[in-house]
Amino acid sequence: MKTLITGGVKSGKSTRALALARNFPPGQQFFLATATAFDDEMRDRIHRHREERSGSFITIEEPLEIDRALRPCMIVDCIPMWMNNLFFAEREDDWKPILDRFIAALPTDVVIVTNEIGMGVIPADPMSRRYGVALGLANSRLAACVDRVELMVAGLPLQVK
Protein backbone atom coordinates (compact mmCIF):
# COMPACT_ATOMS: atom_id res chain seq x y z
CA MET A 1 0.00 0.00 0.00
CA LYS A 2 1.19 3.52 -0.80
CA THR A 3 0.99 5.63 2.36
CA LEU A 4 1.78 9.28 3.13
CA ILE A 5 2.36 10.19 6.78
CA THR A 6 2.20 13.86 7.65
CA GLY A 7 2.18 15.85 10.87
CA GLY A 8 4.16 18.26 12.95
CA VAL A 9 7.76 18.02 14.05
CA LYS A 10 8.31 15.16 16.54
CA SER A 11 4.69 13.98 16.19
CA GLY A 12 5.71 10.34 15.71
CA LYS A 13 5.84 10.18 11.91
CA SER A 14 9.06 8.16 11.58
CA THR A 15 8.03 5.73 14.32
CA ARG A 16 4.69 5.22 12.57
CA ALA A 17 6.45 4.67 9.23
CA LEU A 18 8.55 1.90 10.80
CA ALA A 19 5.40 0.29 12.25
CA LEU A 20 3.64 0.35 8.86
CA ALA A 21 6.71 -1.10 7.14
CA ARG A 22 6.27 -4.24 9.23
CA ASN A 23 3.38 -5.02 6.85
CA PHE A 24 5.64 -5.00 3.79
CA PRO A 25 5.97 -8.39 2.09
CA PRO A 26 8.89 -10.49 3.37
CA GLY A 27 12.27 -9.80 1.80
CA GLN A 28 14.53 -6.81 1.52
CA GLN A 29 13.27 -3.55 2.93
CA PHE A 30 14.74 -0.19 2.03
CA PHE A 31 14.97 3.18 3.73
CA LEU A 32 15.54 6.30 1.64
CA ALA A 33 17.18 8.90 3.89
CA THR A 34 17.17 12.45 2.56
CA ALA A 35 18.88 14.15 5.51
CA THR A 36 22.40 15.51 5.33
CA ALA A 37 24.63 15.82 8.39
CA PHE A 38 25.30 19.54 8.17
CA ASP A 39 25.94 20.00 11.91
CA ASP A 40 26.38 18.04 15.15
CA GLU A 41 22.67 18.05 15.95
CA MET A 42 21.82 16.53 12.56
CA ARG A 43 24.61 13.97 12.91
CA ASP A 44 23.12 12.91 16.27
CA ARG A 45 19.61 12.79 14.83
CA ILE A 46 20.73 10.67 11.86
CA HIS A 47 22.55 8.32 14.25
CA ARG A 48 19.43 7.92 16.43
CA HIS A 49 17.27 7.19 13.39
CA ARG A 50 19.74 4.54 12.18
CA GLU A 51 19.61 2.87 15.59
CA GLU A 52 15.78 2.86 15.50
CA ARG A 53 15.94 0.91 12.24
CA SER A 54 18.37 -1.52 13.92
CA GLY A 55 19.74 -3.01 10.71
CA SER A 56 16.37 -4.21 9.43
CA PHE A 57 16.51 -1.85 6.44
CA ILE A 58 19.00 -1.26 3.68
CA THR A 59 19.61 2.49 3.86
CA ILE A 60 20.01 4.54 0.72
CA GLU A 61 21.15 8.10 1.35
CA GLU A 62 20.02 10.47 -1.39
CA PRO A 63 19.51 14.15 -0.56
CA LEU A 64 18.43 15.39 -4.01
CA GLU A 65 17.56 12.85 -6.72
CA ILE A 66 14.94 10.88 -4.76
CA ASP A 67 13.28 9.69 -7.95
CA ARG A 68 16.40 7.67 -8.81
CA ALA A 69 16.64 6.02 -5.40
CA LEU A 70 13.20 4.38 -5.15
CA ARG A 71 13.06 0.66 -4.45
CA PRO A 72 10.25 -1.79 -3.60
CA CYS A 73 9.22 -1.99 0.06
CA MET A 74 10.63 1.41 1.00
CA ILE A 75 10.25 4.13 3.60
CA VAL A 76 11.06 7.62 2.27
CA ASP A 77 12.04 9.93 5.14
CA CYS A 78 11.52 12.81 4.54
CA ILE A 79 10.07 15.10 1.88
CA PRO A 80 10.69 18.39 3.78
CA MET A 81 14.40 17.65 4.16
CA TRP A 82 14.63 16.76 0.46
CA MET A 83 12.93 20.04 -0.43
CA ASN A 84 15.27 21.90 1.95
CA ASN A 85 18.27 20.30 0.26
CA LEU A 86 17.08 21.42 -3.17
CA PHE A 87 16.52 25.00 -2.00
CA PHE A 88 19.95 25.25 -0.40
CA ALA A 89 21.65 23.64 -3.41
CA GLU A 90 20.10 26.45 -5.47
CA ARG A 91 17.94 23.89 -7.29
CA GLU A 92 14.60 25.27 -6.15
CA ASP A 93 13.05 24.91 -9.61
CA ASP A 94 13.92 21.19 -9.80
CA TRP A 95 11.41 19.97 -7.21
CA LYS A 96 8.49 19.66 -9.66
CA PRO A 97 10.19 17.49 -12.31
CA ILE A 98 11.89 15.34 -9.66
CA LEU A 99 8.57 14.88 -7.85
CA ASP A 100 6.85 13.99 -11.15
CA ARG A 101 9.39 11.24 -11.78
CA PHE A 102 9.21 10.14 -8.12
CA ILE A 103 5.41 9.78 -8.28
CA ALA A 104 5.59 7.93 -11.61
CA ALA A 105 8.07 5.44 -10.10
CA LEU A 106 6.37 4.82 -6.73
CA PRO A 107 6.46 1.15 -5.78
CA THR A 108 3.34 -0.62 -4.54
CA ASP A 109 4.64 -0.79 -0.97
CA VAL A 110 5.98 2.58 0.14
CA VAL A 111 5.62 4.84 3.18
CA ILE A 112 6.46 8.50 2.59
CA VAL A 113 7.09 10.83 5.52
CA THR A 114 6.45 14.56 5.28
CA ASN A 115 5.66 17.50 7.57
CA GLU A 116 2.44 19.42 7.64
CA ILE A 117 3.20 22.97 6.64
CA GLY A 118 1.46 26.32 6.89
CA MET A 119 -0.45 25.80 10.13
CA GLY A 120 1.26 28.67 11.92
CA VAL A 121 2.99 31.95 11.34
CA ILE A 122 3.71 33.11 7.80
CA PRO A 123 7.52 33.30 7.48
CA ALA A 124 9.10 36.74 7.24
CA ASP A 125 11.61 35.97 4.48
CA PRO A 126 10.82 35.22 0.81
CA MET A 127 12.75 31.93 0.60
CA SER A 128 10.91 30.47 3.58
CA ARG A 129 7.58 31.52 2.08
CA ARG A 130 8.50 29.89 -1.27
CA TYR A 131 9.61 26.76 0.59
CA GLY A 132 6.28 26.57 2.43
CA VAL A 133 4.30 26.95 -0.78
CA ALA A 134 6.42 24.33 -2.58
CA LEU A 135 6.17 21.82 0.28
CA GLY A 136 2.42 22.35 0.58
CA LEU A 137 2.00 21.73 -3.16
CA ALA A 138 4.26 18.67 -3.04
CA ASN A 139 2.29 17.26 -0.09
CA SER A 140 -0.99 17.76 -1.98
CA ARG A 141 0.36 15.99 -5.05
CA LEU A 142 1.66 13.10 -2.97
CA ALA A 143 -1.61 12.79 -1.06
CA ALA A 144 -3.52 12.57 -4.34
CA CYS A 145 -1.46 9.63 -5.64
CA VAL A 146 -1.28 7.39 -2.55
CA ASP A 147 -3.82 4.93 -1.16
CA ARG A 148 -3.72 6.20 2.42
CA VAL A 149 -2.84 9.44 4.21
CA GLU A 150 -2.32 9.60 7.95
CA LEU A 151 -1.94 12.71 10.08
CA MET A 152 0.12 12.20 13.23
CA VAL A 153 -1.06 14.15 16.26
CA ALA A 154 0.75 13.68 19.60
CA GLY A 155 1.95 10.25 18.53
CA LEU A 156 -1.48 9.10 17.36
CA PRO A 157 -2.32 8.36 13.72
CA LEU A 158 -5.50 9.86 12.31
CA GLN A 159 -6.59 8.44 8.96
CA VAL A 160 -7.28 11.27 6.52
CA LYS A 161 -7.62 9.18 3.36
Residue ranges per domain, the chain? 2-159
What length does the chain have?
Answer: 161
Most confident of 9-13, 40-44, 116-120: 9-13
pLDDT band at 48 (very low <50, low <70, confident <90, very high): confident
Contact 12, 115 (CB under 8 A): no
- The whole-angstrom separation of Cα 100 and Cα 112 is 15
Question: Is residue 47 flagged as an active site residue?
Answer: no
Catalytic residue among 12, 36, 46, 49, which? 49
* Average pLDDT for the chain: 93
pLDDT in tens, 93-127: 999 999 999 999 999 999 999 999 878 788 889 99
Q: Which residue type, as a one-letter code, is found at position 10?
A: K
CATH number for the segment(s) 2-159: 3.40.50.300
Say if residue 49's pLDDT is above 80: no
